[in-house]
Chain A
């Protein structure tokens, strides 16, 4: 039966486009604070991984008949730059064979300053990579040593230079709340990445996740994050970077569209071990271990180990929380169209409990103020059912 609704028409006529994430599960060395899955390189392992990745795509194709088009791509990990040029050629080949990339596709690649190379840069250039996200973490050697990073500050500066010279949009990741870190040292790193031409900066507070060496035995002298974060908000905005998400600052038009998909409830497809996918209201995760990932795909099965259906109050509060991470916040009309006016009311009522200076209200919706972003974690709790 034909539908008169334009939205329905759009949905039925066009395939839904997705954001694609590829998890490269290798690292040169394991950082003591990192909770992402990665394993050490060993002969044959990368080939096995690439084979399994290809198999996963084939299995998905078989299951869904046709794969959605890709509107943003993100190659992360792990450390994508530990793969050599030949492996990258193979990876690109697999992806190109598997998917149709829409025009204007944003392609981001994560790079470690220690392993980025001019060969990779030119390969990426050729493959229409648009953004390179460099894991700078800090531009102070004492911080990098403490963090167990396989590079020094000079190497980071060099890495950023070759990225910008090649004409990529440069994003720099920085960590704050490090042991012994003060505003002066933090400022040095912020200033350094701005000077290196980054048009996107992500600032992450050092998290002590359980299961990581530092999560189990935290280092002494961790700096309080709040003043450092507040400084980043102040300084980056002064330098022309707009905060568009709790941890993300970008110059005009340079925000990462891929990441925004996560926060605004778009579909994404994650490939590789431990990668997450979200298709409408179902979220799933691949097996975490590389060997398992290879053997399951080798048996001709999809390597999914967890999935959940998102519905009801859980879905509503989760969407509200994610939306409030961004500068766009909760858009009333869109929110009530998706979840109903009652759900919007519920969320708005919970927000009443929050001191008014942490929120900004506009005709179209509600979003967090700068102060609100600083205490986001506590606000999320109040939004849960």
Chain B
């Protein structure tokens, strides 16, 4: 069924985590009989197991729904869902660019949260028509009027005819569909112009290669066409185009306003970048669609295989993961402590965790991650700007003219009784107060600017614990700023251990150095001699602790008969020691390194 462009509606759903986005999507599919009741399962559009398990949506399949409105006309509704996390702001913006309207879902019991606002503003920026929907009205604690007031006051949307729904119970679904038809404007575009289609997502499929999710703005695309990606300048022949219903269904042609997929023997997602413009090779458009940029990783960490001989598996897994997710950056790295591994870059902490978990789950690689760090810029004596992806890239302090680190602007929605604690937390993290206002007498919006480095350590957990989980937070990048940062080396027996060194603000160096030394003291096995543990900035030692020498396992008698047995025992013990890593005169088991890095994780969780 083909419908005229006036009866196409491209829209997305934006919502805070847990406010019911996936459930609402499920209901829309049912109501439009896009999916038969028999095939229906929960969170049907979430593609990864991980998403379904965590209840979060990273990437969601765009879906075409057919709907007969109460006006008796048939419409095509394309639901383009967006990743709801700030790590993926760029991807969100590209998805929004493919739409003309958005459903803004707000939980009737929880009201407006930080992400709701961030994403709503993003949608407004893209000129989308926003339809507020108050969801979960079935909850006993639901306060739809309160939620509506918050939407009006905080987001600034008119809620005089706000939609009330319970996606769980299927209430208000029809009204939502009608509102989409009435309020979301139809796409505009010219069939006869050269092809311009936006790639708003691309995934890698083992059998088909890269599948691009596209939204056609002008012109048409057909199977067999030669196309060019305008940013990467790569050309391909279209093997198949189609739409998601939600399974892939090939079609002959995609025209202006239409949303679907494109397959063309594309090997990696790197070649079909999100935000790029597809055009016709024979009759190319004059300019690409606006808004494309290449995403740059902001958070880095080292990934090392736990079993050292699994390095090739880790490399293969990362390569495959990158085919799927071009935002992941990696390059080989060698650590004296951990052996061969990779320095990996991510869009944020969640992105990093997802990658780590997918490597483990989908590729079966057991790995250890070093503590994450942000990307640093520093200006050396010659005035040139250098980018550092790891603490060990830091030059000697005397060589540095100025260090710059990324800052973020965070916006938190906090119950009023926790305002003081949250402000304290932000201050502790070198935060700079920007502003605060009360959304309601019970809830405040707090805005701070703080270094991303402070945010990625364990900010979320601290926030959760000081507010008992009642605060929500969102952030946006706020550029690089000069900072008094130092590299702190951790030395064991006078030898620096690369895997343990870190960069932090000079004021925090002592505390973090102390913490690292304390942790190390607990996990390093006693040695034959006293071992010094130090934290140092350059040559200046700021923390020092000694580990007393080994005292247990003193001696055993040994006469004629014991000799062979004793030797066997020693050989066995020695075998265990082969897995040890020599740091100067000190042998540390691999487990000690893992324990050190993992104990950091636990504090984060």
Interface contact A270-B556, CB-CB below 8 Å: no
The answer to whether the Cβ of A353 comes within 8 Å of any Cβ in the partner chain is: yes
The answer to whether the Cβ of A354 comes within 8 Å of any Cβ in the partner chain is: yes
The answer to whether the Cβ of B54 comes within 8 Å of any Cβ in the partner chain is: no
Closest to A274 in B: B561
Chain A residues lying within 8 Å of B553, measured Cβ to Cβ, are 375, 377-378
Closest to B585 in A: A353
Instruction: For the complex, give the distance between the alpha carbons of A373 and B558 in Å.
Output: 13
Interface string of A338-370 (1 = CB under 8 A from B): 000000000000000111011000000000000
Task: Give, as a whole number of angstroms, the nearest-CB distance from A106 to chain B.
Answer: 15
Q: Which residue from A21, A355, A357, A378 sits with its C-beta under 8 Å from B585?
A: A355
Interface contact B555-A268, CB-CB below 8 Å: no
Interface contact B555-A373, CB-CB below 8 Å: yes
Chain A residues lying within 8 Å of B41, measured Cβ to Cβ, are none
Interface contact A205-B555, CB-CB below 8 Å: yes
Q: Which residue from B554, B557, B585 sits with its C-beta under 8 Å from A202?
A: B557
Surface stretch bound by A, among B139-147, B329-337, B569-577: B569-577
Surface stretch bound by B, among A86-94, A190-198, A224-232: A224-232
Contacts of A197-230 to chain B: CB distance below 8 A:
202, 204-205, 207, 224-227, 229
Interface contact B560-A21, CB-CB below 8 Å: yes
Interface contact B558-A262, CB-CB below 8 Å: yes
Instruction: For the complex, give the distance between the alpha carbons of A353 and B527 in Å.
Output: 12
Surface stretch bound by A, among B110-118, B151-159, B449-457, B544-552: B544-552
The answer to whether the Cβ of B37 comes within 8 Å of any Cβ in the partner chain is: no
The answer to whether the Cβ of A71 comes within 8 Å of any Cβ in the partner chain is: no
Chain A residues lying within 8 Å of B529, measured Cβ to Cβ, are 355, 357-358
Interface string of A274-295 (1 = CB under 8 A from B): 1111100001010000000000
Task: Give, as a whole number of angstroms, the nearest-CB distance from B576 to chain A.
Answer: 10
The answer to whether the Cβ of A325 comes within 8 Å of any Cβ in the partner chain is: yes
Task: Give, as a whole number of angstroms, the nearest-CB distance from A175 to chain B.
Answer: 10
The answer to whether the Cβ of B563 comes within 8 Å of any Cβ in the partner chain is: yes
Task: Give, as a whole number of angstroms, the nearest-CB distance from A265 to chain B.
Answer: 10
Task: Give, as a whole number of angstroms, the nearest-CB distance from B550 to chain A.
Answer: 6
Instruction: For the complex, give the distance between the alpha carbons of A228 and B448 in Å.
Output: 60
Interface contact A270-B561, CB-CB below 8 Å: yes
Chain B residues lying within 8 Å of A177, measured Cβ to Cβ, are 554
Interface contact B561-A275, CB-CB below 8 Å: yes
Interface contact B574-A384, CB-CB below 8 Å: yes
Instruction: For the complex, give the distance between the alpha carbons of A219 and B531 in Å.
Output: 31
Instruction: For the complex, give the distance between the alpha carbons of A46 and B197 in Å.
Output: 100
Instruction: For the complex, give the distance between the alpha carbons of A318 and B570 in Å.
Output: 11
Contact of A276 with B555 at beta-carbon distance under 8 Å, contacts A355-B585, A381-B577, A384-B574 already known = no
Chain B residues lying within 8 Å of A277, measured Cβ to Cβ, are 560
Contact of A226 with B561 at beta-carbon distance under 8 Å, contacts A314-B567, A358-B528, A381-B573 already known = no
The answer to whether the Cβ of A380 comes within 8 Å of any Cβ in the partner chain is: yes
Interface contact A322-B554, CB-CB below 8 Å: no
Interface contact B563-A325, CB-CB below 8 Å: no
Tier of interface size on chain A: 35 or more
Interface contact B564-A226, CB-CB below 8 Å: no
Chain A residues lying within 8 Å of B574, measured Cβ to Cβ, are 381, 384
Contacts of B506-556 to chain A: CB distance below 8 A:
528-529, 549-556
Chain B residues lying within 8 Å of A314, measured Cβ to Cβ, are 567
Task: Give, as a whole number of angstroms, the nearest-CB distance from B564 to chain A.
Answer: 6
Closest to B556 in A: A207
Task: Give, as a whole number of angstroms, the nearest-CB distance from B555 to chain A.
Answer: 5
Q: Which residue from B528, B551, B573 sits with its C-beta under 8 Å from A226?
A: B551
The answer to whether the Cβ of A242 comes within 8 Å of any Cβ in the partner chain is: no
Chain A residues lying within 8 Å of B554, measured Cβ to Cβ, are 177, 205, 225-226, 229, 374-377
Q: Which residue from B551, B555, B567 sits with its C-beta under 8 Å from A318?
A: B567
Interface string of B570-592 (1 = CB under 8 A from A): 11011001000000010000000
The answer to whether the Cβ of B559 comes within 8 Å of any Cβ in the partner chain is: yes
Task: Give, as a whole number of angstroms, the nearest-CB distance from A191 to chain B.
Answer: 21
Chain B residues lying within 8 Å of A375, measured Cβ to Cβ, are 528, 549-550, 553-554
Task: Give, as a whole number of angstroms, the nearest-CB distance from A360 to chain B.
Answer: 15
Chain A residues lying within 8 Å of B564, measured Cβ to Cβ, are 276, 283, 285, 306, 308
The tally of residues in B whose CB lies under 8 Å from a CB in A reads 25
Q: Which residue from B528, B555, B567, B577 sits with its C-beta under 8 Å from A246?
A: B555
Chain B residues lying within 8 Å of A377, measured Cβ to Cβ, are 553-556
Closest to A177 in B: B554
Task: Give, as a whole number of angstroms, the nearest-CB distance from B134 to chain A.
Answer: 63
The answer to whether the Cβ of A247 comes within 8 Å of any Cβ in the partner chain is: yes
Closest to B567 in A: A318
Interface contact B555-A229, CB-CB below 8 Å: yes
Q: Which residue from B549, B555, B567, B573 sits with its C-beta under 8 Å from A247?
A: B555
Closest to A354 in B: B528
Chain B residues lying within 8 Å of A379, measured Cβ to Cβ, are 528
Task: Give, as a whole number of angstroms, the nearest-CB distance from A169 to chain B.
Answer: 18
Contact of A322 with B563 at beta-carbon distance under 8 Å, contacts A378-B528, A380-B570 already known = yes
The answer to whether the Cβ of A105 comes within 8 Å of any Cβ in the partner chain is: no
Instruction: For the complex, give the distance between the alpha carbons of A275 and B562 in Å.
Output: 10
Contact of A285 with B550 at beta-carbon distance under 8 Å, contacts A207-B556, A379-B528 already known = no
Instruction: For the complex, give the distance between the alpha carbons of A124 and B71 in Å.
Output: 121
Chain B residues lying within 8 Å of A164, measured Cβ to Cβ, are none
The answer to whether the Cβ of A259 comes within 8 Å of any Cβ in the partner chain is: yes
Closest to A318 in B: B567
Instruction: For the complex, give the distance between the alpha carbons of A314 and B529 in Å.
Output: 26
Chain B residues lying within 8 Å of A227, measured Cβ to Cβ, are 551
Task: Give, as a whole number of angstroms, the nearest-CB distance from B529 to chain A.
Answer: 4
Task: Give, as a whole number of angstroms, the nearest-CB distance from A206 to chain B.
Answer: 10
Chain A residues lying within 8 Å of B560, measured Cβ to Cβ, are 21, 262, 268, 270, 276-278
Instruction: For the complex, give the distance between the alpha carbons of A225 and B574 in Å.
Output: 22
Instruction: For the complex, give the distance between the alpha carbons of A275 and B560 in Å.
Output: 9
Task: Give, as a whole number of angstroms, the nearest-CB distance from A284 to chain B.
Answer: 10
Task: Give, as a whole number of angstroms, the nearest-CB distance from B526 to chain A.
Answer: 9
Chain B residues lying within 8 Å of A204, measured Cβ to Cβ, are 556-557
Closest to A173 in B: B557
Interface contact B563-A224, CB-CB below 8 Å: no
Among B549, B553, B561, the most chain A Cβ lie within 10 Å of the Cβ of: B561
Chain B residues lying within 8 Å of A358, measured Cβ to Cβ, are 528-529
Instruction: For the complex, give the distance between the alpha carbons of A306 and B551 in Å.
Output: 35
Contact of A322 with B558 at beta-carbon distance under 8 Å, contacts A355-B585, A381-B573, A381-B574 already known = yes
Contacts of A292-328 to chain B: CB distance below 8 A:
306, 308, 314, 318, 321-322, 325
Chain A residues lying within 8 Å of B556, measured Cβ to Cβ, are 204-205, 207, 377
Task: Give, as a whole number of angstroms, the nearest-CB distance from A22 to chain B.
Answer: 12
Closest to B526 in A: A378
Chain B residues lying within 8 Å of A308, measured Cβ to Cβ, are 564
Instruction: For the complex, give the distance between the alpha carbons of A21 and B561 in Å.
Output: 10
Instruction: For the complex, give the distance between the alpha carbons of A259 and B553 in Å.
Output: 22
Instruction: For the complex, give the distance between the alpha carbons of A204 and B221 in Å.
Output: 88
Interface string of A244-279 (1 = CB under 8 A from B): 001100000000000100110000101000111110
10 more CB-based (< 8 A) A-B contacts, given A322-B563, A357-B529? A205-B556, A224-B552, A229-B554, A229-B555, A268-B560, A276-B563, A322-B558, A378-B528, A379-B528, A380-B570
Please list 18 pairs of residues, one from A and one from B, whose beta carbons are closer than 8 Å in the complex, sorted by A's number.
A205-B556, A224-B551, A225-B551, A226-B552, A226-B554, A246-B557, A246-B558, A262-B558, A270-B560, A283-B563, A318-B563, A321-B567, A354-B528, A358-B529, A375-B550, A378-B550, A379-B528, A381-B577
**Which residues of A approach B to under 8 Å, CB–CB?**
21, 177, 202, 204-205, 207, 224-227, 229, 246-247, 259, 262-263, 268, 270, 274-278, 283, 285, 306, 308, 314, 318, 321-322, 325, 353-355, 357-358, 373-381, 384
**Which residues of B approach A to under 8 Å, CB–CB?**
528-529, 549-561, 563-564, 566-567, 570-571, 573-574, 577, 585
